[in-house]
Amino acid sequence: MSIKLFDHNRAAYDSALAMLRLSGKAVIIHPTGTGKSFIGFKLAEEHPKDRVLWLSPSEYIVKTQLENLKKESGAELKNITFITYIRLMLMDKDEISALSPDWIIMDEFHRCGAEKWSGGVDSLLAAYPKCPILGLSATNVRYLDGQRDMAAELFDGNIASEMTLGEAIVRGILLKPKYVVALYDYEDQLNSYQKKISMAKNTELRNTNQRKLDALRRSLDSADGIDEILYKHITDKRGKYIVFCSSVEDVVSLRKLARQWFWKIDDEPHIYSVYSYFDESDDEFRAFKADDSGHIKLLYCVDMLNEGVHVDNISGVILCRLTVSPTVYKQQIGRALSASKTNEAVIFDFVNNFKNLCSVSSLEQEVRDAAESLRTAGMEKYIVTDGFTVVDEVRDSVELFRDLEGTLNVSWEEYFELARQYCERNGNIDIPVSYRTDEGVALGQWLCMQKMIRRGKAAGLLTPERISKLDSIGICWETPSESRWGALYAHAAEYYAEHGDLNVKTSYKSPDGYELGSKICDLRKIRKRRGSGGMLTEEHIRLLDEMGMLWAAKSSWDKYFPAAKRYHAEHGDLNVPNAYVTEDGLKLGEWISRCRRGALELSASQRSKLELMGFDQSGRDAAWDRHYNEIKEFYRQNGHLNISYKYQTADGFKLGQWLGKQRRLRKSGELPESRVRRLSEIGMV
């Protein structure tokens, strides 16, 4: 049974194949739940005689993906070798040499930036520099590693298809969820606030903050309990739910709360646990997936299901893990969403991430941005929804939390002073998001938050004075994508100033080594693929248009036909060897071969021009036969083949040159004996 792809994955697959043929590298960045792995499986299915090497973070992920493949399509692919990144890291040169892949697929490729894993990947790519590589992931950015862009580092920015979680929801690829915000564990935080208030020396400030804390306690006490919130919003009382925890200890403590939380729904919930490094978790996971009982099913997990593993029929997820990584946050949400689901999932956010960079507000903004981007690109027909339901059970409490955070914790000025000192020590302000000072102050998160506030992606106060202060220590307000655009535009403007256009050869590099030609080529692909959005906005298009940007690169016909004419003038035909390359580097033999195979679409006029020079789309044998018949006719009329090298027939065929070529081919042993015999029969000397 053939693997069938969803429309969005079929488009991504076709785009990736085209990019792999052009550059040998391509990545697909689609959110969790959209079926990325099936794109890789389709590649293996359509190349059954090729060896496909599939790299994955864990055997667990591979096992689940293969189960899903067999369930959805019945396919069993025999030409894939699965290896984990850890296994690859431990392989020596001989073992890597024995792999001999025709294709490499790097699943969750953003993980290749890890210090230890990257060594194995580097060794593999060095051993097979010409092997095409396809990358699959929900993100290309390592947020806690200086926001490194692994699509740029490993794949030279060759993004065949990119889609955010917001866009997948807007387009209806993933059903919009019901998002419920609540808090379950706040006593430690309240006690921490109480301790800070009690230590305050300013009586007025101490009393003010005590009133705020008391108000917060009352707000939390009056809010519905977790049991009531779950009962109110869980509609599938027999469904399967994943509970994300921060640690093994959290799993133990939260499991003890299960009956307290779910007693209104089911007094005997079925409870399972999985951990990323426990072998026995495999049985638990299998049992959870197979459980079709009339009870509610709860899977408590640590790290296991953040990425790669998708479970069918998940009714919702419960977030009990604080995270500063947007990648992990979206992966956890994605466990409840799937391109094959027909029922709305529910997401319970019991930590609300109100102190972190990723929360429901960021997801709501991403959905709005996706809808606006599609409208701007004239693709409004793809918009299925432009929002989803958010039920905030603790809105007042969260606002009080934030108020206390602002008065009790490190002030803006204190954060800035720490940033200034960092700059003084290191000579820059390129602080990783995960960076904390020796005292434990999350300086990296704070700095990232300032950038998000200025871009309107987060709430907060950033006055002109504060912006000026951050400017004084060299903050870069741009995102990595904006920085890449800035570099590209600067080099394009420099080229335009010198040449008066942007007709840049793909191989062109700027004096400082910047690969402007390939970047311009990438922009053409991006616009052709999506119109606008991401790195290429409408404003970017306008700026490039002002410099005469050619969005359709010069056609291959314009480049190769003059070379074909020169070859015909010299050789008398277009029987160009496949490996033939002109003096200026054009692969003419390959181009002629593509024309003959129909891989290049030729107009009737273009085909006619080639045929006048002896081109025959049916193959070289037909062209040779046609020329042979002309020679045979000359022999019939004249009784010999004693012809000058410059001799041409009345219709312009260079008969003398063609005969000379046959003699050279006979001498070098390249002329088949059947042709030698046929020429000898009509008096060939």
CB 85 within 8 A of CB 111: yes
**Type of residue found at 310:** H
383 DSSP 8-state letter: -
Element (H, E) at 29: strand 25-29
Distance of alpha carbon 387 from alpha carbon 362, whole angstroms: 12
pLDDT at 357 over 50: no
The residue among 325, 328, 25 whose CA lies nearest residue 157 is: 25
- List Cβ neighbours of 515 (8 Å cut-off, separation of 6 or more): 508, 509
Element (H, E) at 319: strand 314-319
Q: What is the pLDDT of residue 281?
A: 52
Angular region, 246: left φ>0, alpha ψ -120 to 50, beta rest: alpha
Distance of alpha carbon 614 from alpha carbon 612, whole angstroms: 6
Distance of alpha carbon 488 from alpha carbon 300, whole angstroms: 46
Q: What is the pLDDT of residue 459?
A: 59
Distance of alpha carbon 496 from alpha carbon 483, whole angstroms: 20
Tokens of 46: 């359509």
CA torsion 657-662-666-672 (nearest 10°) is 160
Give pLDDT tens digits for 52-107.
Answer: 999 888 776 777 777 777 777 777 788 989 988 888 888 888 999 999 999 999 99
Give pLDDT tens digits for 202-250.
Answer: 677 778 888 888 888 887 777 678 888 899 999 888 999 988 887 788 8
Q: What is the pLDDT of residue 104?
A: 94
Residue 625's SS3 state is helix
Percent over 90 (pLDDT), the chain: 9
Tokens of 608: 């006619």
The answer to whether the pTM exceeds 0.75 is no
**φ and ψ at 447, to 5 degrees?**
-65, -40
Give pLDDT tens digits for 440-487.
Answer: 667 887 888 788 777 766 656 778 888 888 889 888 877 666 677 778
Q: What is the pLDDT of residue 265?
A: 92
Q: 141-142 and 148-149: which strand pairing? A: antiparallel
The residue-averaged pLDDT of 196-205 equals 74
Tokens of 128: 């097979």
Mark out the alpha helices in 238-354 (DSSP H runs). Answer: 248-256, 258-262, 281-290, 326-334
The residue among 616, 612, 619, 510 whose CA lies nearest residue 568 is: 612
CB 101 within 8 A of CB 51: yes
pLDDT at 599 over 70: no
- List Cβ neighbours of 12 (8 Å cut-off, separation of 6 or more): 28, 30, 39, 160, 161
Distance of alpha carbon 579 from alpha carbon 582, whole angstroms: 10
Burial 597-635 (b: 16+ CB within 10 A, else e): eeebeeeeeeeebbeebbbbeeebeebbeebbeebeebb
Model confidence band, residue 294 (pLDDT cutoffs 50, 70, 90): very high
Residue 86's SS3 state is helix
Mark out the alpha helices in 500-615 (DSSP H runs). Answer: 516-530, 538-545, 556-571, 588-597, 604-611
The residue-averaged pLDDT of 538-548 equals 79
Model confidence band, residue 531 (pLDDT cutoffs 50, 70, 90): very low
Element (H, E) at 193: helix 187-199
Residue 387: count of CB within 10 angstroms of its CB: 12
The residue-averaged pLDDT of 167-171 equals 88
Domains of the chain, start order: 7-163 (3.40.50.300), 178-399 (3.40.50.300), 410-472 (no CATH), 480-545 (no CATH), 619-685 (no CATH)
The residue-averaged pLDDT of 646-654 equals 78
CB 431 within 8 A of CB 447: yes
The top-scoring range by mean pLDDT among 168-177, 268-277, 523-532 is 168-177
CB 231 within 8 A of CB 264: yes
Q: What is the pLDDT of residue 135?
A: 93
**How many CA atoms does the CB half-sphere of 643 hold within 13 Å?**
25
The top-scoring range by mean pLDDT among 291-300, 422-431, 592-601 is 291-300
- List Cβ neighbours of 222 (8 Å cut-off, separation of 6 or more): none
The residue-averaged pLDDT of 354-359 equals 47
Which tops the pLDDT comparison, 60 or 645? Answer: 645
CB 159 within 8 A of CB 27: yes
536 DSSP 8-state letter: B
Mean pLDDT (the chain) is 79
Instruction: Give CA separation, 502 vs 481, 496, 519, 549, 641, in Å.
Output: 21, 6, 12, 5, 53
Distance of alpha carbon 73 from alpha carbon 83, whole angstroms: 23
Tokens of 227: 């049991």
Element (H, E) at 299: strand 297-302
Q: Residue with structure tokens 């063609």?
A: 658
**How many CA atoms does the CB half-sphere of 517 hold within 13 Å?**
11
Q: 389-392 and 25-29: which strand pairing? A: unpaired
The residue among 210, 176, 195 whose CA lies nearest residue 341 is: 176
β-sheet bridge partners, residue 298: 241, 271
Residue 486: count of CB within 10 angstroms of its CB: 12
Percent over 70 (pLDDT), the chain: 82
What does the DSSP assignment read for 485-501?
HHHHHHHHHHHHHHHSS
The residue among 628, 629, 655 whose CA lies nearest residue 642 is: 655
The most distant pair of C-alpha atoms in the chain lies apart, rounded to whole Å, by: 122
- List Cβ neighbours of 471 (8 Å cut-off, separation of 6 or more): none
